[in-house]
Amino acid sequence: MIEGSETRTHFLDKAVAIRLIKTCIVLPIWFLARVYTLWQIGIFTDFDRVSYFDINAYASWSGTILQNHQLPTEVSWQYPPGAAFIFLLPRLFVTPYQITFIALLIAFDGAAIFALVRLARRTNRWLGVWFWIFAIAVTGNIALLRFDIIPTALVIIGLSIFAMSRSSFAFGVVVGLATAIKAWPILLLVGVPTTSRLLRVGLTAGGVLAAVFWGTFVLFGNPFAFIFNHAGRGLEIESIAATPWYIWELLTGAPIASAVRNGSPEIVDPIADIVAHVMFGAMILLGVVVALWWWSTRDERRTAALSIDVIFASTLLYIGVSEVLSPQYLIWLIGIAAVGLCLPQARPTWWLAFFALAIVLNGLMVDHWSDLVTNGRPGALLLVGRNACLGAMAVLLLGRIWRATRRHPAEHSTPDARAITEGTAGAERMQAP
């Protein structure tokens, strides 16, 4: 009896040591990967001539907010009010705004990697950690020149809480904060499998959102202008719905007319404007369909991995039917996928291969972005390839979710701590000699 206890203790000590070693390997590689991104930006090689792109807009908006005590009124302001507080944070420091904002992004990135490592140490599934590190690096300099990594980091933290079945209150708080910064994290509610838990999470998230909107109203006035600004957008050149125009350009050489409208380059074409309105309606229809699907499958027992698959697919469909699909939107999907790949029940299939290819093509497309407005072939080919991969991913994921939800409920387990613990224990047994 004593010998068996000593053997088990030896195995547990070995498993703990292996996890510690993996953690010590992951963190320096994450650091080096982000240093590489900073080098791409030019921080180390040509500091005085770095182009900060959107961060310059954030600096301008934050200055306007401080000076006028109201949110920006131009049509390019299309962010929930919580984003204003993020843009104001660098103003608390004496360092240049642009450098401080990049440091803020790296801090949130560090919080995301911490949450992923913590989840991986518990499940002994590290693929998601590596996926986050390298996929963000491949995405290119946009990861540290756009603020999308901030809501995505909050989503990673929230999904880690969800997967380990911690407090519904904590999960709801994170969902509310992330949604107050960038609207898409509200889709995390789709993954909550039970009516009672959805009610608790939804009320908490709603309370946080209400507090942010009320605080914004008191400090800066109307917090709802971003909704009306977005509603007037046309068809952005990078959207999936713009793909036929670029296929036609590749086949015939016919140039695509585009112009900067509503804060981003859009296709100037009456048909494109009609398509943009159709896509906006499609987003509303998608919300209805997802809500009906959730209602039909509510209170079924499902794994945490399946719930995160549902969140991933819903987010993918959302950006797919949107009239806007900027390159940084893939950061959202990378974050959700990273958490899913850290779970014991995760089964990477062809969708992950298509996603990896889409990330590579997306990064290359950023380097050839000017081709999209100057009718260059390389950029058009990369755009068509990326959008085709995203479409293939959607088909594969929807088929996977359909098959999983058609099985008998007994084949699933709820996303509780027991699922995580059993996955960890199984991994420890596999490591035993």
Residue with tokens 């990697």, as numbered in its chain = 113
Q: State how far the Cα of 332 lies from the Cα of 110, in Å rounded to an integer.
A: 16
Taking residues 38-53, report their average pLDDT.
86
Asked whether the predicted pLDDT for residue 291 surpasses 60, the reply is: yes
Alpha helices in 264-416 (DSSP H): 270-297, 304-321, 330-340, 350-367, 371-374, 377-406
- Output the six-digit token pair for 237: 């050149």
- Output the six-digit token pair for 329: 């939107």
Query: Is the model more confident about 139 or about 165?
Result: 139
- Are the C-beta atoms of 352 and 392 separated by less than 8 Å? no
Query: Is the model more confident about 73 or about 127?
Result: 127
DSSP 217-248: HHHHS-S-HHHHHHHT---BTTSGGGHHHHHH
Which pLDDT belongs to residue 407? 62
Residue with tokens 């790949």, as numbered in its chain = 341
Which pLDDT belongs to residue 228? 76
Q: State how far the Cα of 208 lies from the Cα of 273, in Å rounded to an integer.
A: 36
Asked whether the predicted pLDDT for residue 420 surpasses 70, the reply is: no
Query: Is the model more confident about 204 or about 47?
Result: 204
Burial string for 77-96 (b: 16+ CB within 10 Å, else e) reads bbbbbbbbbbbbebeeeeee
Asked whether the predicted pLDDT for residue 11 surpasses 70, the reply is: no
Residue type, 107: A
Asked whether the predicted pLDDT for residue 431 surpasses 60, the reply is: no
Secondary structure of residue 190 in the 3-state scheme: helix
Which pLDDT belongs to residue 107? 97
> Between the ranges 39-43, 104-108, 308-312, where is the mean pLDDT highest?
104-108
- Output the six-digit token pair for 199: 């009610």
Alpha carbon distances (Å) from 413 to 106, 172, 310, 421: 36, 22, 15, 13
Q: State how far the Cα of 431 lies from the Cα of 190, in Å rounded to an integer.
A: 35
- Nearest one of 262, 241, 236 to 372, comparing CA atoms: 236
How many helices and strands (H and E) does the chain possess?
17, 2
Asked whether the predicted pLDDT for residue 13 surpasses 90, the reply is: no
Taking residues 276-290, report their average pLDDT.
88
Query: Is the model more confident about 219 or about 346?
Result: 219
Report the percentage of the chain scoring pLDDT > 70: 89
Query: Is the model more confident about 57 or about 229?
Result: 57
Which pLDDT belongs to residue 8? 52
Give CA torsion, residues 142, 145, 149, 151, to 10 deg.
-130
Residue type, 54: D
Pairing of strands 258-261, 264-267: antiparallel
Which pLDDT belongs to residue 355? 96
Report the percentage of the chain scoring pLDDT > 90: 59
Asked whether the predicted pLDDT for residue 322 surpasses 60, the reply is: yes
> Between the ranges 13-17, 198-202, 221-225, 411-415, where is the mean pLDDT highest?
198-202
Which pLDDT belongs to residue 423? 42
Alpha carbon distances (Å) from 305 to 10, 195, 399: 31, 19, 15
Which contacts (CB < 8 Å, 24+ apart) does range 397-406 have?
Answer: 397/309, 397/312, 397/313, 397/316, 397/351, 398/313, 400/309, 400/349, 400/351, 401/306, 401/309, 401/310, 401/313, 404/302, 404/306, 404/309, 405/297, 405/300, 405/302, 405/306
Phi-psi region of 221 (alpha: psi -120 to 50; beta: other; left: phi over 0): left
Which pLDDT belongs to residue 161? 92
Asked whether the predicted pLDDT for residue 402 surpasses 90, the reply is: no
- Average predicted confidence (pLDDT) for the chain: 87
- Are the C-beta atoms of 145 and 41 separated by less than 8 Å? yes
> Between the ranges 35-49, 385-399, 415-429, where is the mean pLDDT highest?
385-399
Taking residues 87-114, report their average pLDDT.
96
Beta bridge partners, 167, equal none
Taking residues 39-46, report their average pLDDT.
87
